Amino acid sequence: MTEGDQGPAVAGAMDLLIRYGDILGAERLVETNNVCGASIYGPRHSRVLGTTDPDTLFSEFSLDLRSPVPITPAAAHSCQLIGPRDHENWELQGLSAQTNDEITRSERYLASIGVSILNTCTPYQVGNVPGRGEHCAWMESSAVPYINSLLGARTNTEGRESTAAAMLTARIPYAGLHLTENRYATHLVRTAVPISTMFEWSVFGYWMGWHLRDQIPVIEGITGPVDPIALKQFGAAMNSSGDVELYHMPGVTAEATSVDHALNGIRPEDALVFEARDFDAVVEHLNSTATGDDIDFVMIGCPHANLDQVREVARLLDGRRIKDGVTFWIFTPSALREVARRSGWVDVIERAGGRVMADTCPAIGQFVPPGAKRFATDSAKQVHYLPQIMGTEGRFGTTEACVEAALTGRWVA
Ligand code: F3S
């Protein structure tokens, strides 16, 4: 590949992976047939290069090549993660027709080289469910702990360039969490607080990220099935305050059968214990940007909502009316929006004055409703990022509290 037998794009991609692998200390590459990256471009990219030629933009922004080369089709099963715009509601986002057209052209280009346009941070909700032990190259930080931990797949948190190179070569450096010896737990965690709801899992996850940064915990004492939606929120929260790419929960997650197995027999002297005061500290921190209780924007669906979440929001809004002056958006993968539409839930939400959005989110697309000053969300990740990205104050609580805020325009904790 490096000699150009498969074309200059593959040669450039392989050169990038070899340099990247050297930095990681990888002895070799590993084959992958499951890549999730983000190579959409828009006006910001074409302005920098002064061209809308897709091969040139892909060469520069996705492969870090100095000279443009013709891009060859993806060699691995490849998916586009979340993008910058909702293909139905781009006007609501405040995008121009020109921006919309450029993003559409970019999607068509990616599809033409074999990339599935899933446009979600939760590919595992819409058909890309990697198997146990499968080597993947995924980029989205909330999806990485989900597939590593719940499914037992193997990925590091990749970037735009490494996933693009992996798409073209079907290879990724054999380093980090691809190796069994790097997947053992380093920390033992217990909770003194009962954890069951999605809200509680989010708070617990945010606290874990605070304390563990990029370490691997095993959580002792959680029994029984845990709702995958709660674990979707859990992983997103811990990868906002920290960078926990893998956790073990014997009996719940895919790999470790016991705490000792997770720790490879090496028990740390002390366990990290999550206490009631930690719970309160996280909730206080995640509400700390808000200077009041008036709410003019409610955002649900970070990571993208699954069907149960959309249905639950429809149930809470059924027959009611969102307060004038409040914008209510719930985000879900576009494939699930279609199912929700056919199930009648989109209709119920829209009758109440809300919108079901897809393909994007406010933090990634960098948009909020015009004039929005303070938003409410049930996502620890969105409230962590959006105030920093858009300068909008944030409130964080349960889904019910967020819907109530949409109906009344007031936050009641
Ligand atoms: Fe997904 Fe955007 Fe949240 S990418 S995880 S909805 S910040």
pLDDT band at 343 (very low <50, low <70, confident <90, very high): very high
Q: Give the number of residues written for the chain.
A: 413
Q: According to the model, what pLDDT value does residue 276 have?
A: 98
Candidate of 361, 366, 392 to mutate for ligand 1, largest count of ligand atoms within 8 Å of Cβ:
361
Position of tokens 């009631």? 276
Q: How many angstroms separate the alpha carbon of residue 206 from the centre of ligand 1? A: 15
Beta bridge partners of 157: 138
Q: According to the model, what pLDDT value does residue 223 have?
A: 83
Sheet holding 78-80, edge to edge: 115-116, 78-80, 35-37, 137-138
Domain boundaries, the chain: 8-180, 184-285, 287-408
- The protein residue with its alpha carbon nearest to ligand 1, atom 6, reads 302
Candidate of 79, 138, 141, 364 to mutate for ligand 1, largest count of ligand atoms within 8 Å of Cβ:
364
Tens-digit pLDDT profile for residues 241-299: 999 999 999 999 999 999 999 999 999 999 999 999 999 999 999 999 999 999 999 99
Annotate 364-383 with DSSP letters as a single string.
Answer: HHT--STT--EEEES-HHHH
Q: How many angstroms separate the alpha carbon of residue 103 from the centre of ligand 1? A: 19
> How would you label 79-105 residue by residue, b for 16+ Cβ within 10 Å and e otherwise?
bbbbbbbbbebbeebebeeebbebbee
Ligand 1 atom closest to 143 (CA): 5
Q: According to the model, what pLDDT value does residue 109 have?
A: 98
pLDDT at 413 over 80: no
Arithmetic mean of pLDDT, 394-399: 98
Q: According to the model, what pLDDT value does residue 34 have?
A: 98
Q: How many angstroms separate the alpha carbon of residue 343 from the centre of ligand 1? A: 24
Identical topology for domains 8-180 and 287-408: yes
C-alpha distances out from residue 296 to 264, 284, 357, 392, 394, Å: 50, 20, 17, 10, 11
Residue 314: which residues within 8 A CB-CB, separation 6 or more? 340, 344, 345, 348, 349
Ligand 1 atom closest to 331 (CA): 6
Ligand 1 atom closest to 301 (CA): 6
pLDDT at 324 over 90: yes
pLDDT above 90: percentage of residues in the chain: 99
Candidate of 86, 234, 304 to mutate for ligand 1, largest count of ligand atoms within 8 Å of Cβ:
304
Ligand 1 atom closest to 363 (CA): 7
Grouping H, G, I as helix, E, B as strand and the rest as coil, residue 158 is coil
Q: Which residues line ligand 1 (CB under 6 A)?
A: 82, 121, 142, 236, 302-304, 331, 361, 363-364, 381-382, 385
- The protein residue with its alpha carbon nearest to ligand 1, atom 2, reads 361
Ligand 1 atom closest to 82 (CA): 4
Q: How many angstroms separate the alpha carbon of residue 378 from the centre of ligand 1? A: 12
Q: Which helix (H) or strand (E) holds 204?
A: helix 198-212
Beta bridge partners of 64: none
Residue 186 is given by DSSP the state S
Q: According to the model, what pLDDT value does residue 197 have?
A: 97
Ligand 1 atom closest to 140 (CA): 4
Q: Rounded to 5 degrees, what are φ and ψ at 410?
A: -130, 145
Residue 301, Ramachandran bin (φ over 0: left; ψ between -120 and 50: alpha; else beta): left
Tens-digit pLDDT profile for residues 62-93: 999 999 999 999 999 999 999 999 999 999 99
The structure's pTM equals: 0.97
Q: How many angstroms separate the alpha carbon of residue 374 from the centre of ligand 1? A: 18
Ligand 1 atom closest to 121 (CA): 1
Contacts of the segment 133-136: beta carbons below 8 A, 24+ positions apart: 134/34, 135/30, 135/31, 135/32, 135/34, 135/172, 135/178, 136/32, 136/34, 136/35, 136/36
Position of tokens 């040139």? 56
Tens-digit pLDDT profile for residues 132-170: 999 999 999 999 999 999 999 999 999 999 999 999 999
Of 123, 157, 159, 125, the C-alpha closest to 39 is: 159
Tens-digit pLDDT profile for residues 191-230: 999 999 999 999 999 999 999 999 999 999 998 799 999 9
- At position 315, the amino acid (one-letter code) is R
Q: How many angstroms separate the alpha carbon of residue 116 from the centre of ligand 1? A: 19
Q: According to the model, what pLDDT value does residue 224 have?
A: 78
Q: According to the model, what pLDDT value does residue 402 have?
A: 98
**What is the average pLDDT value for the chain, to the nearest integer?**
97
Arithmetic mean of pLDDT, 53-63: 97
C-alpha distances out from residue 315 to 308, 318, 322, 346, 377, Å: 10, 5, 14, 11, 17
Residue 23: which residues within 8 A CB-CB, separation 6 or more? none
Cβ count near 314 (within 10 Å): 23
Q: What is the CA radius of gyration of the chain?
A: 22
Q: How many angstroms separate the alpha carbon of residue 375 from the centre of ligand 1? A: 15
CATH, range 287-408 = 3.30.499.10
Q: How far apart are CA 46 and CA 54, in angstroms?
A: 9
Q: How far apart are CA 148 and CA 181, in angstroms?
A: 14
Q: According to the model, what pLDDT value does residue 389 have?
A: 97
Class of 8-180 in CATH: alpha beta
